[in-house]
Amino acid sequence: MKIITAVIAATAFLFPLAAQADHHGAKPTKNVVEIAASAKDFSTLVAAVKAGGLAGALSGEGPFTIFAPTNAAFAKLPEGTVATLLKPENKGKLASILKYHVVAGKVMAADVKAGKVKTLNGAKAKIAIKDGKVTIDKANIVKTDIVGTNGVIHVIDSVILPAAK
């Protein structure tokens, strides 16, 4: 099944360096955390990764596939949710949610298949493909294949949450 290769042009401005590397064959020079930190639209995600104590791990060797919610995706959560999760006493819960957005390995858009994928928090997220659109737990994947030295980022328009245990 062919996966969409075109991406929404409106988000291309978020990753000018990554886009150059992809289109000109240059090797990436930043890891996935550095790429996210260099894009204004991921400031909430980067703050959460730091508060969750995951910046070091996600800057490591990997490879990782990160389904990265934008600031607008975090804004869709109920009011006060992000502020509550960023509190030190909620570090474990925040880390679990963030790990739900990460899959081990480097999975490029062309390699994505419908079905369940095991995330780093141990739970499985559902990838669906319908009418050429790809979702993970109903979050739309709006930009794909932002390649870093230790993995790849796919941008999503909603925060995905693991099922309550």
Domain boundaries, the chain: 9-156
Query: Three-class SS of residue 48?
Result: helix
Contact, 153 vs 68, CB < 8 A?
yes
Q: What is the pLDDT of residues 76-85, one digit of tens each?
A: 999 999 999 9
The pLDDT of residue 25 is 63
**9 has pLDDT over 50:** no
Q: In what order do the strands lie in the sheet with 151-156?
A: 102-104, 64-69, 151-156, 139-148, 133-136, 124-130, 115-118
Give the pLDDT confidence of 98-151 residue by residue, as tens digits: 999 999 999 999 999 999 999 999 999 999 999 989 999 999 999 999 999 999
pLDDT of residue 16: 37
Residue 18, pLDDT > 60, answer no
Assessment of whether the complete model's pTM goes beyond 0.75: yes
Average pLDDT over residues 36-62: 95
Residues 6+ apart with CB under 8 A from 39: 14, 15
The average pLDDT across 60-77 equals: 96
Res. 15: pLDDT tops 60: no
Task: Return the percentage of the chain with pLDDT > 90, whole number.
Answer: 81
DSSP 77: S
Out of 3.50.50.60, 2.40.160.210, 2.60.120.650, 2.30.180.10, the CATH code matching 9-156 is 2.30.180.10
